[in-house]
Amino acid sequence: MALVEKWREIERELPAGWKEARLSLLMHGEWYARRAAALLAPANPVRSGLRITLYTAQHGVGIGPKAVARLLTRLDAEGLSGELELVSLVAGDAGAADEQAWLVDTWDALLASLPEDWSDLYVELTLDSSDYLQPAALATAPLNPARWGDTTAFRFRCARRFGYGASPEMVRRCMERLDDRGITGSLQILRALSDTQPVSTQGPVWYVEGRSV
């Protein structure tokens, strides 16, 4: 069984409202263990010989379950075989709903809500904790994020085809990086333009509170 399929099997059996799970991955060889630990780096794994331990959580410390699936898919793609098992579980409120949306899913939903001819966006990423500011700035560096006031928010530009701002594909990749690192928050589009045609410029300029963005 592929590692990602084993994880999905484990995840289906977890109780509703679970908070945190510790997973053990026993690799079938030294090289496999070394390579797997490198690919699992976003999860901050702990390696002891051929065994790799990692944590996943619905919220807070630890990467999310979807991020675990993405990482294990990378191992499967390289043919790294091993045995995955659940070691321990921190249960939660069985009636609690998982309300935290993945940032990459939020980005996809925002794009789907836009008119077909959209061309330029001004976006705000608000982080759930100030502890996330530094790692989030590093993960989203290709977006040229800018802090806004004393909040835990970054703002950035997105351009669909040309002009100033990151491409929507790059924004999506950066949101995946945040999800992989367990960095949570929310996204909203502050301003949007359609069918702009820059002539000898890098694109439109918005003025917000007296400053150009």
What's the angle, vertex CA 6, arms to CA 75 and CA 57, rounded to 5? 85
Q: Provide the residue range defining the domain that includes 144.
A: 103-195
Structure tokens at 88: 């321990």
Indicate if 86 and 127 belong to the same structural domain: no
Question: Are 70 and 143 in a shared domain?
Answer: no
How far apart, in whole angstroms, are the C-alpha atoms of residue 27 and residue 14?
23
C-alpha span between 128 and 147 (Å, rounded): 14
48 and 114 within one domain: no
Mark whether 40 and 69 lie in a shared domain. Answer: yes
In this structure, the answer to whether residues 191 and 119 fall within a common structural domain is yes
pLDDT at 142: 95
- Put simply, whether the predicted model's pTM sits higher than 0.85 gets the answer no
54 and 109: one domain?
no
Spatial contact of 54 and 10, defined as CB atoms under 8 Å apart: no
Is residue 142 domain-shared with residue 190, that is, in the same domain? yes
Residue 200 inside a domain? The answer is no
Same domain for 111 and 28? no
CATH of the domain at 188: 3.30.70
- 122 shares a domain with 84: no
The DSSP letter of residue 15 is P
| pLDDT for res 97 | 43
- The answer to whether residue 29 sits within a structural domain is yes
* C-alpha to C-alpha distance for 208 and 210, rounded to whole angstroms: 5
Q: According to the model, what pLDDT value does residue 62 have?
A: 64
Same domain, 136 and 174: yes
> 98 in a domain, yes or no?
no
| Domain membership flag for residue 80 | yes
**H or E segment at 185?**
strand 185-194
Q: Which residues contact 150 (CB under 8 A, 6 or more apart)?
A: none
What is the per-residue pLDDT for 129? Answer: 85
Q: What's the structural domain count of the chain? A: 2
Does 97 map to a domain?
no
- For 193, phi and psi rounded to 5 degrees? -125, 155
Determine, yes or no, domain membership for 36.
yes
Question: Within a domain: residue 143?
Answer: yes
Give the pLDDT of residue 98. Answer: 47
Together in a domain, 116 and 174: yes
- Count CA within 13 A, CB hemisphere, residue 55: 15
The token pair that represents 207 in the structure block: 């003025």
- Are 41 and 114 part of one and the same domain? no
Pairing type for strands 20-27 and 46-48 reads: unpaired
Mean pLDDT in runs of 10 for the chain (213 residues)?
90 84 93 94 90 83 79 92 92 55 88 89 91 92 90 92 86 90 87 75 69 67
Find the DSSP H helices in 21-132: 30-39, 65-77, 103-112
